[in-house]
Structure 1
Amino acid sequence: MDSIIFDLDGTLWDPIDTVKDAWNEEVWSRRPEEKELTREDLEGVMGLQLEGVAEKLLPHVEKEEREEILYACFSRENDLLSEQGGRLFPEVEETLQVLSENYPLFIVSNCHDGYIEAFYEAHGLERYFKDYENPGRTGLSKGENIELVMERNGLKDAVYIGDTSRDEKAARQADIPFYYASYGFGEAENYERKVEAFSDLKSLV
C-alpha cells in the first residue's frame, strides 16, 4: 500500500444536520409549500451525483426548476458548512495525523464543486491531504475520479475507504482494494477490510 484515498460523507464526517438546515432554508425560499427535508431524506442521497439527488428529493418538480433549486442549495450548503462545519467522526484528526506521517492521503467524493473546500475551511484538515477530486469539477464518475487522482499523483498501490456499495463499486472500477467504513451511512458486502471506527485505521501504520 502506497497511499490512502478517502470518501468524505459517512467516512470522515457527518454533515447532515448542517446540510439539512441549508437545504430547507433554500427550498422554502423558492417553494414554501414543500415539506421539510429530514435527516433520513438526506441520508438516502449521500454519495449520489446531482441527477440522483434531484430525482430523489424533488421528483415532482420539473427538471429545469429542480436543478436550479439544487444548485442554489449547494451554494448555500457550502457557505453554511464553511462557517459551521459538520460532525467529525471520533478521532478523525488524530488518526489523519498518524496516517499522513506514513502515507500520502487523498479525498475523492461524489460532491459538487466547493464542498471539499468547505470541509477543509471549517475543520482545518487540508494540511493532511495531498490532493482531492469530485464530479463537480471533472464531470466524471467516482471510479474515474479515483483513477484520475492516482494517475495525477503517480499512485500504484492505493486503497479506497468509503461507507457504501457505490464506494465499493468505484474502488472496483479503479481496480484497487476497498475498505468498508461500517460506522457510516450505507452498506457494503464485498470488501477487503471492515473498519468499525475511524481510529481503527491507525493499525495500518
Structure 2
Amino acid sequence: MDSIIFDLDGTLWDSRKTVAKSWTRVVKDANCKRREITENDLRGTMGLQIPDIADILFDDLSKEERMELILACCEQERVDLEQEGGKLYEGLEETLNALSKKYRLFIVSNCQEGYIESFYAYHGLGHFFEDFENPGRTGLSKGENIQLVMERNGLSEPVYVGDTEGDRAAAVFAGIPFVFAAYGFGEPEGYDERIESVRELEKLYL
C-alpha cells in the first residue's frame, strides 16, 4: 500500500448544514415547487453526481431548468463554504497529519468544480493532499476519476476510503480495496475494511 484516496462528504466532513442554507437561499426565489432544501434532503443524495441530484430534488422542472437551478445552488454553496466551511469529523487533522508521514493522500469526490477547493480554503487542510479530482472538472465517473488520479500520480497500491455503495462500486471499478467509513451516510453492499471513526485509520494502517 502506497497511498490513500478519500471521498469527501461523509468521509472527511459533513457540509450539509452550510449547503442546505445555501441551496435554500437560491430555491426560495426559483420557479420550482421546493421552497427549502433540508439536511435530510441532502443526506438522500450523498455520493451522487450533480445531474442525478437535480433529477431527485427538482423533478418538476425540465432537464435544462434543473441543471440551471442546481448550478446556481452550487455556486452559492461554493461561496458560503469558503466563508463558513463544514463540520470536520473528529480527529481529522491529526489523523491526516499522521497518515501523510507514511502515505501519499488524495481526494476523489462526486462534486462540482470548486467544492474540494472550498474544503481546502476554509479548513486549511490542502497541504496534506497531493492531488484531487471530480466529475465537475473531468466529466468522468468516480471510478474513472480514481483511475485518473492513480495514473497521473503513479500509484500502484492505493486504497479508497468512502461511505456509500457508489464509493464501493468505484473502488471495485478501479481495482483497489475499499475502506467503509461507517460513520458517514451510506450502507455499501460490502467492504474490505470498516472504520467507525476517522481516527481508526491510524490503528488500521500505522
| Higher deviation after alignment, 130-139 or 42-51 | 42-51
For the 8 Å contact 2:34–2:58, the answer to whether it is kept is no
Corresponding residue SS for 1:5: strand
User: Within the alignment, does 1:38 sit opposite 2:38 as a pair?
Assistant: yes
Please give the TM-score of this superposition, normalised by the length of structure 2: 0.97
Post-superposition CA distance 1:88-143 (Å, at most 9, x none): 00000000000001100000000000000000001000000000000000000000
| Higher deviation after alignment, 123-132 or 62-71 | 62-71
**In angstroms, what is the RMSD of aligned CA positions?**
1.0
CA displacement at 1:31 relative to structure 2: 3.1
User: Within the alignment, does 1:14 sit opposite 2:14 as a pair?
Assistant: yes
1: CA distance, partners of 2:92 / 2:112: 23
2: CA distance, partners of 1:160 / 1:199: 16
Corresponding residue SS for 1:105: strand
Alignment of 1:91-102 (within 5 A): 91-102=91-102
Task: Name 1:168's counterpart in structure 2.
Answer: 168
Unaligned 5+ runs, structure 2: none
CA displacement at 1:150 relative to structure 2: 0.2
| Higher deviation after alignment, 138-147 or 182-191 | 182-191
Task: Name 2:138's counterpart in structure 1.
Answer: 138
CA displacement at 1:62 relative to structure 2: 1.4
Deviation above 3 Å: which 4+ runs of structure 1? none
2: CA distance, partners of 1:130 / 1:170: 20
1: CA distance, partners of 2:119 / 2:87: 10
Unaligned 5+ runs, structure 1: none
CA displacement at 1:33 relative to structure 2: 5.4
Task: Name 2:50's counterpart in structure 1.
Answer: 50
Task: Name 2:78's counterpart in structure 1.
Answer: 78
Alignment of 1:51-200 (within 5 A): 51-200=51-200
1: CA distance, partners of 2:33 / 2:46: 24
CA displacement at 1:32 relative to structure 2: 7.4
